[in-house]
Amino acid sequence: MENSILEVNNLCFGFNKNNQILSNISFNIEEGEFVLIAGANGSGKSLLLKCLKGLLKPTNGSIVVNGQDVSKHSKIRRSLFGLVFQDADSQIVGQTVEKDLKFGMDNIKISSEEQLRRISDVTELLNLQNKLKMKARNLSGGEKRRLAIAGVLVMEPKIIFMDEPFANLDYPGVIQVIKTLLLLKESGHTIIIVSHEIEKVAAHADRLILMESGKIIENGKVDKLLDTLLNHGVFVPSIDGKLLTCKDLTWLKH
């Protein structure tokens, strides 16, 4: 595809020869797309992100970014892809918000001037500019998730991966994260989210990829796949036995 920023072809992964978990995963992502990867627990969603990011080594297949094959270059992939983990606390390492945002940039020797520019841009985007001196542990759950996202953004990745971004959040935290995702989408970021809580974000995704048993079984518009999701272990809300439409699947109206 001409506008593809990411092309994944026949990607496979297993911890040993007799235990193949991901089988022939293939898909393309266009620049600026917001893609939701769904599936029941154990379908391989999080493992896929780790393989793409370079935290696990695929056993076969190719990963191409902007026409460059980076399949055998995990270090390059780690810089191209930013991954926000399910547990935000595990990703926050600095005592204060500012120190946390500087941590990754310090490690790769980014100049102080450039660090200030990136921190200013990202904290303004995510409404964290007034919390720079706050201790990270004193942030709310939603604010910690936004800080974890900000820590990824300051590294300026090509694509942002998020693994279960709504995990362990209360209602205000979920709303904060949904609004953050929409801000990122509006500012042109390419986003891939893994989530089984599709009711929170399905209305805002450009496309849905459905996984089962380490394979992609559907790839298309969310509203066309709601019936299919139910048959593959993914919860879809209903009222009086009738599925909600894609337009209804957002928490921002409530």
- 254 lies in a domain? no
Q: C-alpha distances in angstroms, 63 versus 9, 48, 67, 133?
A: 7, 12, 10, 39
DSSP 8-state secondary structure symbol assigned to residue 78: H
Place of tokens 């990829």: 209
Token readout for 223 is 């509203």
Return the SS3 of 153.
Answer: helix
CB-CB contact of 11 with 60 (8 Å):
yes
Q: To which H or E segment does residue 223 belong?
A: helix 222-230
Q: Tell me what pLDDT residue 69 has.
A: 96
CB 128 within 8 A of CB 80: no
- d(CA 68, CA 206) in angstroms, rounded, equals 24
* Range of the structural domain that residue 71 is part of: 4-248
Question: What pLDDT is stored for residue 254 in this prediction?
Answer: 46
Q: How many Å apart are CA 81 and CA 150, to the nearest integer?
A: 14
Lookup result for tokens 């709310």:
140
Q: Is residue 175 part of a domain?
A: yes
Instruction: Tell me, yes or no, whether 253 lies in a domain.
Output: no
At residue 22, the pLDDT reads 97
Which residue is associated with the tokens 């660090």? 115
Whole-angstrom distance, CA of residue 142 vs CA of residue 239: 29
3-state secondary structure 109-136: CCCHHHHHHHHHHHHHHCCCCCCCCCEH
The token pair at 211 is 């996984």
Read off the CATH number of the domain in which 66 is found. 3.40.50.300
**Cβ atoms of 223 and 41 closer than 8 Å:** no
pLDDT of residue 16: 82
Q: Is residue 79 part of a domain?
A: yes
Count other Cβ atoms within 10 Å, centred on residue 29. Answer: 23
Q: Using alpha carbons only, what angle is made at residue 156 by residues 151 and 158, rounded to the nearest 5 degrees? A: 120
Q: Is residue 103 one of the residues assigned to a domain?
A: yes
Residue 107's nearest CA partner among 93, 124, 97, 123 is: 93
Say which residue the tokens 């076969």 belong to.
Answer: 60
Task: Specify the residue for token string 């390419």.
Answer: 190
Residue 31 forms part of a structural domain: yes
Tens digit of each residue's pLDDT (9 = 90 or more) over 2-60: 679 999 999 999 988 778 899 999 999 999 999 999 998 889 999 999 999 999 999 99
Say how far apart CA 13 and CA 136 lie, in whole Å.
Answer: 36
Asked if 8 and 63 count as a contact pair (C-beta separation under 8 A), the reply is yes
pLDDT for 244 equals: 72
Which segments of the chain have a pLDDT < 50?
254
Domain count within the chain: 1
Contact status, residue 16 vs residue 171, Cβ threshold 8 Å? no
